[in-house]
Structure 1
């Protein structure tokens, strides 16, 4: 049994440990009590949100502008009222992105929430990198596809020209047959190089680089961060029913598939309603199925027949190049999979991606 002095000494020691923790942590962190008064913050929070020592004890209403996030008080109240942890990505008015975690501060003896601890992790650079990466992937895929499909056309034209030259009179030019033969040999060599590139190397590696064991939920999280501005602007909700999470595929290819389907679901939702997206995964015989459904504008029969064509866009009023679904279909089909689509005008769409186990 500790004496009173021993108890006081223990509390002082614990408080000193807390002070050391708050002084040395590199993450912006706040402690707010149940009355929404600021009790403590870490030095990084002082720098990031321009907090000052004299703010200690103030109600958050007095200093909410420092956080540059309008709904922070509502979020804190929700955690205090429910006792649940809140995790969300937020964008502050200075256009930075944070992973914000609000944890209830529990008094276990009284079984009540006496405040919250809030942490902020700056993810601005990660979101920027993900967006840039997705842009480069799309451009890269389109470039490769265009080269592979279009480079044979000029070669074919050159071959036809040579055939025509063969049928022309030689006009007593002694070297004409030799020169023509050289041109033809060069053409054959060019064709061989291109065929080797397209039919073997390029086709082998184009849509299957670096196959690895992936966690589908991690891929979805990366895509969600990439599309964070669009999700925030449209108030989109993304729900998941993941039965199968592990699968083998190329990481950037799977990201491109998920990114394009979610991006389209957001983009093709009427402005008068918020996008509602449901992502499912399950096993179906020899396939792992990834299903993405939305409450968007939907498509009629004619539109469904052409959505996977290159440069085809369902609605010209929406931004885009018309290559997203074309790339998705090419990635999946080249990997031995397939895609099915169910859609009705005004009732949304369901894209089912079948990936071979």
Structure 2
């Protein structure tokens, strides 16, 4: 009789200690028994998961929606059956993230699991930081890809101009000032691109391209000047129809988007006709749309899904590195927009970029 009273007293003391622990811990914890009935929870769990005292004694299935985790019942049962600790990252109903540990509650004398202790560690700040880091890394990779791609054009133009200078006869020096102007223009463009790179390097993770209200005509003229050598060499005819002139976007990014599309239209021209490029801007479904249509070689329908992949080239022309359209797609998607393409082999292509209308 005395032994039984001692066991009861010990159980009461253990229960009091467990109750005291659950009432004073600052970590959200639950105790669920082997029948999947909620027996105890800590005050932080009440706050985070909107638990109520009336939930004690209820089956976990009756309150599982509070945890925003559809497989919690299966996970608890797995730990009870296997005796293995389970760790997972979950999101709660208030959109916070937790590291969840489900630990078997072992009755040593009977050598069996009598339920589980579930512990939640708040990792919301860590998840937020990781996402910010991923965003910054993607932004810097995009910047470096853009600069590396864009700097190739003025370098090519500079090299071609120097070759032409070497071939000028003494009596043909009247062309010298114009060629010299091309050299200066290429050098100035490279200086601007390198300045962007240096600026991003010194500003570190704080660097971000800032959206501003832009005049599309100015961006188009900038692209036309940058590609002046290619336009002249190919005799390309460029027409513009600006229905939307004011666009809110990052200047460097919008210039890079249009530059790449126009450059590709010239690069993939047909040998059978003079290249014609039509650039339009208009509004559609809440977007400002800029389309670049050409009469070039076109794209086979088999390749339309892959042309935006990195290092994928439209054709074996010996030019380019297959980065341009990849950059355009990345820029548009990171800004909440998109790019589409319609094409027919031998007749040409129409690339359209959709920019979120921020009016």
TM-score tier (shorter)? 0.3 to 0.5
TM-score (ref. length: structure 1):
0.47
Please tell me whether Structure 1 or Structure 2 has the larger radius of gyration of its CA atoms: 2
TM-score (ref. length: structure 2):
0.47
